[in-house]
Amino acid sequence: MQIDKEKLLKNLSSMEQEKLDELLDCRDDDGFDKEWLDLYEKCNISSKAETKDLFLSLSKLTNGHEICSYISDDLELIQKARALGIDLEFLEYLESSYKKGVFPSKYKRSK
């Protein structure tokens, strides 16, 4: 998966801590949280993907904000799901958000 790392770094570095916290709060909604956990369980993740460099860059830009861990976990989840051949609407949403350089925070399943 190819993400727009520069755009993601630029977007997040321009945000205040309050906005970063707000994005994380949005992910606690049932729509996003449930879908993320369902995908996580399908992938049965047992090891970390190579997201260390991105994590360190983001951590530096956001002063170690918690959002960095979420991004690292998301990218690992996407990588594992694709390797397992999982094809879900939520996975498409996560992947397309990162390809645009945007942190995914709100999700509503289409009917």
Q: ∠62-64-69 over CA atoms, to 5°?
A: 100
Q: What percent of the chain has pLDDT over 90?
A: 17
Nearest of 100, 102, 101, 86 to residue 35 by alpha carbon: 86
The rounded mean pLDDT for the chain is 83
Size (the chain), residues:
111
**Domain layout of the chain by residue ranges:** 5-99
How many Å apart are CA 108 and CA 74, to the nearest integer? 17
Residue 57 clears pLDDT 90, i.e. is over it? no
How many Å apart are CA 42 and CA 77, to the nearest integer? 10
